[in-house]
Amino acid sequence: MPYREKRRGPRTRVALFVAVLVAAVFAAGCGDSSGSSSTTTAATAATTTAGGAATSAAKAQTGPNTPAPKPLATRAKLSVAVPLVSEAYGAMLMAKELGEFEKENIELSITTLAIPETIVLLSQGKLDLTPQGWGVAILNAINGGADIKSIAPLVRFPETGKAGLWVAKKYAKADGTVDPCVLKGKTVSFGGSAGLGATSSWWINDYFKKCATGLTVKDVQVSNLGAADLIAGLQNGGVDAGFLVDPFWADADAKGYAVLATPNYRGTLGGYFIGPSLSGKPEVQDAIVRAMLRTTRTYLQGDYRKDPKVRPSLLKVLGVPESNLDAAPPLIFDPQMALDLSSIQGVQTTWLAIGGLLTYSTAIPNEKGWDGKPIARVLAE
């Protein structure tokens, strides 16, 4: 697979944003099957560009090929780790593939690496950059004093997508909806090996709260199955419900053995994190943001997968067949790199309520893990 120049550790299964999110990834919002969501509404209200007033400072040139390159005087060779090669990291992967980092005099060496090891190496300055969700491990590290901050957000997810919590069809009502109360005591996957430590626990817990008799993520049996294994579990009865990320939900949708109970979180659930090796180098931070922002505006707007330059590059980088690429709607790459700050507090609120996951008892403030200054500076150029 492309972008495995070096391999320091085992490939990690991630829940979207784990989602991510993809994440890892990178994932998306709490709501009913119609896609409405109080969480999404709150997230939209809390969305900010560069953590402050950068929007008013941005110049009118916001289209393709902006902002203009400002190559670094000294070439920056950066070591990057990803939990897996994902379209959710498209701003970075395409900036490398299509030469936008080169225009900034930046060279990226990208490897796949397990999340825990990535965070250790990042905090030690042995890695320079990594896309991650606002997960338990990274929040614990930040709270513990690690010099780690996000300087750019990951993607948002389209309203038309069907990634989310899918429930075995036998639990659905005649109209296809699912009362969350039926999942009490049942086996639920939050998307992979992270279990309740996945960012999906936030929006799934919000869905559970709709149960009139009371239900939280602590009231279900947790499965660590993800991706293809989760599909098999939903079919053979080993799992009653689970977070199906793109494009895995398409199988359940086509065959009808499960129904979408609630879509995943639509806002950003992660970002591009730097460690101490770059914390004192604002010019390099700005160049990283500039390359990804220019890539976003030039190549990753609208139905970017149909672009004759982008499509072959995506297929090459992701190493997937065309049918996989087209199985889900295109992701949303914000041309202003706006960050949904509500997610940072939302995941912490859920994990603090669960207990035993975070190593602290009071949620850390947004600014402890997010640095909006690089985006603000680039938008003001």
For residue 146, name the pLDDT band (cuts at 50, 70, 90).
Answer: very high
pLDDT at 45 over 80: no
Rounded CA Rg of the chain: 20
Model confidence at 310: pLDDT above 90: yes
pLDDT at res. 130: 98
Give the pLDDT confidence of 166-205 residue by residue, as tens digits. Answer: 999 999 999 999 999 999 999 999 998 889 998 999 999 9
Q: Is residue 332 part of a domain?
A: yes
In a domain, 212, yes or no: yes
**Whether residue 204 is found in the same domain as residue 110:** no
Band (23; pLDDT cuts 50, 70, 90) = very low
Say whether both 243 and 330 belong to one domain: no
Locus of tokens 């939209």: 44
Mean pLDDT of the 312-329 span: 91
Domain count, the chain: 2
User: What pLDDT does residue 343 have?
Assistant: 92
- Note whether residue 186 is domain-resident: yes
pLDDT of residue 18 exceeding 90, the answer is: no
Domain that holds residue 189: 164-263
The answer on 202 and 77 residing in a single domain is: no
Which residues, at least 6 apart from 292, have a Cβ–Cβ distance to it below 8 Å? 91, 92, 95, 100, 152, 272, 337
> Given pLDDT bands bounded at 50, 70 and 90, which one contains residue 10?
very low
State which of 263, 294, 326 marks the end of a domain: 263
Average pLDDT over residues 33-47: 35
Name the region of 226 (left: φ>0; alpha: ψ -120 to 50; beta: rest): beta
**What is the tens place of the pLDDT at every residue in 60-110?**
468 999 999 999 999 999 999 998 899 999 999 999 999 999 999 999 999
* Band of pLDDT at residue 341, cut at 50, 70 and 90: confident
Give a yes or no: residue 43 inside a domain. no
Instruction: Clarify whether residues 146 and 25 are in a common domain.
Output: yes
**224 and 277 housed in the same domain:** no
| Residue 58's pLDDT band (cuts 50, 70, 90) | very low
Q: Region of 125 please: left (phi>0), alpha (psi -120 to 50) or beta.
A: left
Of 244, 263, 282, the one marking the end of a domain is 263
Q: Do 357 and 231 have their domain in common?
A: no
Identify the band that residue 264 occupies on the pLDDT scale cut at 50, 70 and 90: very high
Q: Quick one: 222 and 286 in the same domain?
A: no
In the chain, what percentage of residues exceed pLDDT 90?
75
Give the whole-angstrom CA distance, residue 272 versus residue 288. Answer: 10
Same domain assignment for residues 242 and 321 = no
CB 345 within 8 Å of CB 363: yes
Do 247 and 183 belong to one domain? Answer: yes
Q: What percent of the chain has pLDDT over 70?
A: 84
Residues 149 and 274: beta-carbon distance below 8 Å: yes
Residue 15 domain-assigned (yes or no): no
Q: Mean of the pLDDT values across residues 204-220? A: 97
Cα separation, 47 vs 1, in Å, equals 35
Shared domain for 153 and 280, answered yes or no, is: yes
pLDDT of 20 reads 33
The pLDDT value recorded for residue 164 is 97
pLDDT in the model for residue 344: 95
- More confident: 19 or 132: 132
How high is the pLDDT of residue 223?
Answer: 97
Q: Nearest Cα to 162, choosing from 40, 324, 327, 38? A: 327
> Would the pLDDT of 132 be above 60?
yes
**Quick one: pLDDT band at residue 11, thresholds 50, 70, 90?**
very low
CB count in 10 Å sphere of residue 305: 17
The CA-based angle 232-233-234, given to 5 degrees, is: 95
Query: Would you say residue 4 lies in a domain?
Result: no
Lowest-confidence region among 120-129, 165-174, 291-300, 312-321: 312-321
Contacts with 174 (C-beta within 8 Å, 6 or more apart), sequence order: none
**What CATH number is associated with residue 65?**
3.40.190.10
Residues 170 and 210 grouped into a single domain: yes
Can you give the pLDDT at residue 155? 94
What is the Cα–Cα distance from 125 to 130, expressed in whole angstroms?
Answer: 12
Whether 37 is in a domain gets the answer no
Indicate if 296 and 151 belong to the same structural domain: yes
* pLDDT higher than 80, residue 34: no
- Asked whether the predicted pLDDT for residue 30 surpasses 60, the reply is no
Examine the pLDDT at 12 and tell me if it is beyond 80: no
- Asked which of 216, 241, 263 is the last residue of a domain, the reply is 263
Judged against a pLDDT cut of 90, whether residue 112 lies above it is answered with yes
